[in-house]
Amino acid sequence: MSPSGYTITVRLRATPEVHASGALVSAVSGTGAVITGLDVVDPGHDSVTIDLTCTTGSPDNGDAVKAALEAIAGCTVDQVSDATFLIHLGGKLEIASKVPLRNRSDLARAYTPGVARICMAIYENPESARNLTIKRNSVAVVTDGTAVLGLGDIGPEAAMPVMEGKAALFKRFADVDAWPIALDTKDVDEIVRTVELIAPGFGGINLEDIAAPRCFEVERRLREKLKIPVFHDDQHGTAVVVLAALYNATRLVGKEIADLRIVMTGAGAAGAAVAHLLLNAGATDIVLFDSKGAIYEGRPNLDADRTVLSTRTNPRLHSGSLPEAMVGADVFIGLSQPNMITADDISAMADQPIVFALANPDPEINPVEAAKVAAVVATGRSDYPNQINNVLAFPGIFRGLLDAGAYRITDDLLMSAARAIADAVTDEALSAAYIVPSVFDATVAPAVAAAVMASCERDAG
């Protein structure tokens, strides 16, 4: 995690002599922390109250900072606040009214008796709910808490901060109103039925952090049942951004996707979706590894989803090790776990190797080491270049789907979204350190939304 994730503010009291001596700065710097603020809250004559803010690099360093300050004669630490915890206090979301309620007339239109006319209009024409309620701009972010970030099965309540964050990103980047729905069940039937029951209040469903293979069935069944878009971001959002990054990486090194030899680790939700989309984008040679080794047609004990993958990947039926598969490969894509490959493995790849080490928070290889031998390196982290971040995809995809009033999510739609993301990086800006746009590039979400709407029009035609 980036050091900015461990920012603390220490409320302390010190004698004026200690404050003036520089002892506070010296003590904190001695722990390896970096002071970013030193604010006097109450000057006082005998005691100065100070808020000292610093980045610590790790939670343990925060304890070291406190101990170093308490060791100074004339200094007392009153409180240590973690900035990351502070922004989560009370949650990150709120409900706000779009209409004023200033007087009795406003109330009569927004609520009773006027609202009854709106209810009856929807009753007589259910399709009008899209225009007359929040449905036209609302998305449910649904999880069972079984595959949260790099944390795994931590349960629905512990997953809520991530779901709130997702909803905040929807609003920030595409002005979509999203709400976290954490379900206390791992049963596919219960998940599907619950989402089906709440669907009338939403214009779209974003499935999030549901473990494979359960997530595949949940998505498939909901898409069959609902007439609103159902999108599993861990699968398709990841696939879209990986494809966008690969479009630009190949543009940079002068290769074509159809000619690439691709090695992938991780055959879960994200890995399967990435492989599927790359194949539909023209890739012809993908060797995919799961925890038991290379997936190939005829391998014993493959589940249904991996059996399908085995028929579309690994054309040479490679059954050897990962390092052996890396020899002569053009691209490595990791969606698995830390320390899967080495610099020697990359050196054995073809000229101008491309490495996407996307395990979070610790990638399949240290990005600094990878960059010494690879032409292009991408990660899932924000503190290295080329972050493969789903926020480049899902806000614009849902914006386009909601605006189009569409719900079918096709491969054409996903590839169009990927191309829109890739095209946000101009020829002048394209470099080994910039193959995907910044998540704060304001042009990305509108471009993705426009591409999605155009795809929906083609699909409808």
Active-site residues, by number, are: 111, 166
Q: Is residue 201 classed as helix, strand or coil in its secondary structure? A: helix
Nearest CA-CA partner of 430 in 393, 384, 383, 376: 376
What residues contact residue 90 under an 8 Å CB cut-off, 6+ apart? Answer: none
Q: Is residue 376 classed as helix, strand or coil in its secondary structure? A: strand
Structure tokens at 359: 């395990």
> Terminus-to-terminus CA distance in the chain, angstroms?
46
Residue type, 405: G
Contact indicator for 146, 215 with CB cutoff of 8 Å = no
How far is CA 72 from each of CA 13, 33, 49, 293, rounded to the nearest angstrom?
Answer: 11, 17, 15, 56
- Omega cis (within 30) before 300: no
Query: Exposed, middle or buried: residue 116 (CB in 10 Å: 0-12, 13-18, 19+)?
Result: exposed
Describe the crossing of helices 269-280 and 214-225 by its angle, rounded to 10 degrees. 60
Structure tokens at 72: 């100074």
Return the DSSP state at 206: E
Q: Is residue 55 classed as helix, strand or coil in its secondary structure? A: strand
Q: Is residue 49 classed as helix, strand or coil in its secondary structure? A: strand
Q: Could you tell me which residues are beta bridge partners of residue 261?
A: 285
Q: Could you tell me which residues are beta bridge partners of residue 377?
A: 355
Residue appearing with tokens 């894509």:
333
The count of C-alpha atoms lying within 13 angstroms of the C-alpha of 191, restricted to the half-sphere facing its C-beta, is 29
| Gap between the Cα atoms of 180 and 1, Å rounded | 24
Contact indicator for 386, 359 with CB cutoff of 8 Å = no
Q: Is residue 262 classed as helix, strand or coil in its secondary structure? A: strand
